[in-house]
Structure 1
Amino acid sequence: MIQAALIGAGSRGMFAYASYALKRPDEVQFVAVAEPNEEKRALFAKLHNIPPENQFSSWQELLAQPQLCEALLICTQDTQHFEPTMAALDKGYQILLEKPMSPDPLESLQMAEKAERLGRILTICHGMRYSTYYSTLKQLIDERIVGRLISIQWNENVGFWHQAHSFVRGNWRNSKESSPMILQKCCHDMDMLQWLVGGQCLKISSFGSLTHFTPANAPEGSTLRCTDGCQVEHECPYSALKLYYNDKDEWPAKVVALEPDREVRLKALQEGPYGRCVYHCDNDVVDHQVANLLFDNEVTVAFTMTAFTNEISRTFKIMGTAGEIRGNHKWNEIEIIHFSGKRQVIHPERVEGGHDGADTLIMRDFLRQVRSGTAGRTSAMESARSHLIAFAAEHSRLTGQTVIMENYINELKVTQ
């Protein structure tokens, strides 16, 4: 059985990944935790029976100890990934790191290079690669079921309420405090597209902006908080009372308060970030963005990310020389349309766990890597390269220039 430690006991660390140990105690046991929030730290320690001497209020305290175990999960906020990862690699830990690697492109490269140099495992939580749905899609493309791959249309449908929760009110609302939207939300997509295409991105251009979630669009009668007597709260699809307070005992309400006590939750909405009007937050990340990508095997990709969808899903059309593949991840459906007229519909097998089982499968694969010392589905360097596509897209959006990836990477290395 593998022993592991967790740095960052937020919702991803505590519920998405470490919960695997509660279901498979014969495979992994958590023996230490570092988390500055006392309530979260205490809850995680209670769930995993972690003794007081292995409960730390910071990653620095945990990593100051002699190496406590083999495996380490780092699930801190985006800007707090680089330092603990670099220190933990030196310490000898095998690491599962929440995405994105870092909001800085050079730091992402440096982490990957160090893991490679030291021969350590550094697996990035690009869970989509582990999903049975996308694994099936990759197999179909590699088998040339629709001939040679030529073009992809790919949509990241964020969903109106998810945008409001995570990218307007939540932890990833402000690029200076976390990451640009194209990195934080869409590094999954950039990684997936690189994997599916099976090539290296040569050029990228991108456009987008924050258009809707601004004070200029606040409806008449709105207030700074949904709990301040807002006159339009009843009709507003972004009402914090609807999303977090009324009969809500699951995610995302648990982000507001771990316990479902109504008094505690109301106080959190009155004082915390999730009770704010979506038109009066300190958000600056885009609410829609497009990117065009050219790969070295001549495949082109048209990517769209938008907040303004009802469903939270990824949809796509993959065009080959002999047909098309269309899909909607939310429906777990892949449709193959052959130019001959034949049609097939595939519903990949589902696995228990978050993100259609991807959270379970990435933990399973990470533990297999630690046990066997063999490579995982993706390397840290490959993850860093897909991150660089996202960074280049943001550079293009801000400058209006088409980015040539080779030049962009060389310029980064000059500053190293």
Structure 2
Amino acid sequence: MSLRIALIGCGNRGADVYGRLLQAQGARITHLVEPRAARLAEVAARHGVEPEAQFVHWDAFFARGRVADAVVIATPDDAHVGPCLQALALGYDVLLEKPVCLHEHELALLLQAEAASAGRVTVCHVLRATPFFQAVQGVLDGGALGQLVGIQHAENVAHWHYAHSYVRGNWRATPPAAPFLLAKSSHDLDLLRAFAGARPLRVSSEGGLHHFRPDQAPPGAADRCVVCPVVGCPSDARRIYLDRDPGIWPVTVLTAGGQALEDALAQGPYGECVYLGHNNQPDHQAVTVVFEGGVTAQLTVSAFTHNNTRTLKLLGTHGELRGHMERGELELHDFRSSAVTHWTVDTAGIHGGGDLGLVQAWLAFLRGAAPPPTPLAQSLDSHRMAFAAERARVEGRVVELE
């Protein structure tokens, strides 16, 4: 019998990514929680979910008791902890979208709730599950670099992606959304934790909002792109959305629930000028983390890149590994032999195949064939680093982690 999965939150990540992948891997989506009526009806029709298994709030779903085998929680950032605690109280295994919370003290609440539950929480840190970063981890584990000393990692957000998600989208302001680093790069901080193989000790950070603000608006800019006379604006919503495949992200975010793309650009937030000042997230941030054992990692997250990818260098006593995720390229320099090895890794699929890899690993756990993909306590180190980095950035100091 196939596993019964409840989706709590039917947005892009919940329904269009996890819901579709879970169904494709043999699980059944049997219950839905979504406050938007049109979206709820759309996703229910897709999965054949009966009206009695559709809910506008998770309280009503959990009031039914244990009616599914596991739950996916992909609600907005500020609504992850509540349903997760209720799910654990009923013994559900949970696939929890990141960031798991917006307040640091809630990390302990989640750990305590999991410890008291028969269920386990898997955080959606999908990059660990990509073939590309698994290949990086394989080089580390194989000893080719000797002792790891440093990590240089960059998340190149791409100017149009930043405009979509962090100026016009759900993550444009904190609160209510998570701080930029937590919302965008907990994946990457989780990778640093995995590569270092140790807990973080100290964090420092610099960054700010340099460009996407009212004083940077070009002369004559209108409030909406569809009527704006400015030519050549890199954030023109017409360029970002009208020239892209209408059946994939990010266009599907605008058309969810059956809305026409033209109406979304004329009336919704994704057609607004990026210089209106509705956002407060940094558009460029640099972070340094020192791990137990001495590994030092630098992470740079920036809107000002042409592509949407990750690049990295791992620096060891016996070698250096360079990687470019978008192209799937890896380059290993062996200091002992002077040999240079180049190879490529398949990066097809959402997040370079990481979403599929995570879903497969989670289903294997639910079916009793594997342990949880990553223990919750280890996953939450990424959030501890993010919270510390935000304090360090705002307060201008080095933050020591307990």
TM-score (norm 2): 0.96
- For residues 225 and 337 of structure 1, what CA distance do their matches in structure 2 show? 50
Counterpart of 1:371 in structure 2: which amino acid? R
Deviation at 1:374, TM superposition (A): 5.0
1:2 aligns with 2:3: yes
Deviation at 1:225, TM superposition (A): 1.0
| 1:372 match: secondary structure | coil
Name the structure 2 match of 1:372: 368
Name the structure 1 match of 2:344: 347
1:251 aligns with 2:252: no
- For residues 70 and 83 of structure 2, what CA distance do their matches in structure 1 show? 14
Name the structure 2 match of 1:123: 122
Q: Deviations over 1:261-300 (max 9, x none)?
A: 7xx3222212211010011141001001111111111111
Structure 2, gaps ≥5 residues long: none
Cα gap change, 1:304 to 1:247, in 2 (>3 Å): closer
1:237 aligns with 2:234: yes
Name the structure 2 match of 1:360: 356
- For residues 291 and 149 of structure 2, what CA distance do their matches in structure 1 show? 10
Counterpart of 1:241 in structure 2: which amino acid? R
Name the structure 2 match of 1:106: 105
| 1:151 match: secondary structure | strand
Deviation at 1:155, TM superposition (A): 0.7
Contact in 1 for aligned 2:362/2:373 (Cα 8 Å): no
Structure 1 vs Structure 2 CA RMSD: 1.5
Contact in 1 for aligned 2:362/2:372 (Cα 8 Å): yes
- For residues 246 and 160 of structure 1, what CA distance do their matches in structure 2 show? 16
1:396 aligns with 2:392: yes
- For residues 377 and 66 of structure 1, what CA distance do their matches in structure 2 show? 26
Deviation at 1:373, TM superposition (A): 7.6
1:18 aligns with 2:19: yes
TM-score (norm 1): 0.93
Cα gap change, 1:295 to 1:247, in 2 (>3 Å): closer
Q: Percent identity?
A: 35
Cα gap change, 1:153 to 1:235, in 2 (>3 Å): same
Counterpart of 2:6 in structure 1: which amino acid? A
- For residues 230 and 130 of structure 1, what CA distance do their matches in structure 2 show? 42
Counterpart of 1:258 in structure 2: which amino acid? A
Contact in 1 for aligned 2:312/2:322 (Cα 8 Å): yes
Contact in 2 for aligned 1:33/1:41 (Cα 8 Å): yes
Deviation at 1:246, TM superposition (A): 4.7
Give 1:144-159 correspondences, 5 Å limit: 144-159=143-158
Name the structure 2 match of 1:297: 293
The structure 1 segments of at least 4 consecutive aligned residues displaced by more than 6 Å after TM superposition are: none
Deviation at 1:200, TM superposition (A): 1.2
| 2:212 match: secondary structure | coil
1:383 aligns with 2:379: yes
Give 1:24-63 correspondences, 5 Å limit: 24=25, 27-63=26-62
| 1:134 match: secondary structure | helix
Contact in 2 for aligned 1:324/1:337 (Cα 8 Å): yes
Contact in 2 for aligned 1:155/1:315 (Cα 8 Å): yes
- For residues 367 and 191 of structure 1, what CA distance do their matches in structure 2 show? 21
- For residues 65 and 220 of structure 2, what CA distance do their matches in structure 1 show? 58
Cα gap change, 1:40 to 1:281, in 2 (>3 Å): farther
Contact in 1 for aligned 2:29/2:47 (Cα 8 Å): yes
| 1:4 match: secondary structure | strand
| 1:314 match: secondary structure | strand
| 2:41 match: secondary structure | helix
Contact in 2 for aligned 1:169/1:281 (Cα 8 Å): no
Deviation at 1:349, TM superposition (A): 3.9
Contact in 2 for aligned 1:112/1:384 (Cα 8 Å): no
* Aligned positions, number: 399
| 1:304 match: secondary structure | strand
